[in-house]
């Protein structure tokens, strides 16, 4: 009889395995940020002609990967997601570290052969104009 009570107690105390966490549906924050930046770039292209789909997809993936691998801050991600115009990227650059910006520029140049100076430059308001500027890469400078 005692063995029966032990068995009942063990069965009653057994907890069901915790459910497996469900992966979030929809794009990640980094994917949303890269979509927003690339869309701001595409919006600047003339309406005529075929959009550069392959290049846009490659750039979108590059930005997303840098965002994820370099652990961009929530502020940087939200700023890029909120971009409506390409010029808005300048304000977002201050939320990235120099290392994060350098990695994005390096990968952009490796992938697209971007010429130096093709990124939007954002200088710190307190920095003298002769100092090396920070940049949010993968953004063409306005003509």
55-78: per-residue pLDDT in tens?
999 999 999 999 999 999 999 999
Rounded Cα distance, 94 and 133, in Å: 11
pTM: 0.65
| 8 Å CB contact between 114 and 103 | no
Q: How confident is the model at residue 17 (pLDDT cuts 50, 70, 90)?
A: low
Q: What is the pLDDT of residue 3?
A: 55
For residue 36, pLDDT beyond 80: yes
| 8 Å CB contact between 89 and 63 | no
For residue 41, pLDDT beyond 60: yes
């Amino acid at each position: 009889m005692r063995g029966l009570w032990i068995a009942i107690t063990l069965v009653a105390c057994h907890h069901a395995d915790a459910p497996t966490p469900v992966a979030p549906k929809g794009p990640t924050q980094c994917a949303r940020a890269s979509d927003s930046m690339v869309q701001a770039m595409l919006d600047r292209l003339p309406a005529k002609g075929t959009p550069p789909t392959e290049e846009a997809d490659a750039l979108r993936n590059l930005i997303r990967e840098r965002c994820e691998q370099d652990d961009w801050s929530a502020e940087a991600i939200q700023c890029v997601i909120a971009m409506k115009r390409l010029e808005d990227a300048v304000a977002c650059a201050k939320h990235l570290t120099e290392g994060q910006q350098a990695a994005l520029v390096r990968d952009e140049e490796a992938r697209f052969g971007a010429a130096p100076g093709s990124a939007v430059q954002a200088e710190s308001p307190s920095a003298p104009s002769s100092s090396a500027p920070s940049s949010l890469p993968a953004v063409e400078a306005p003509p």
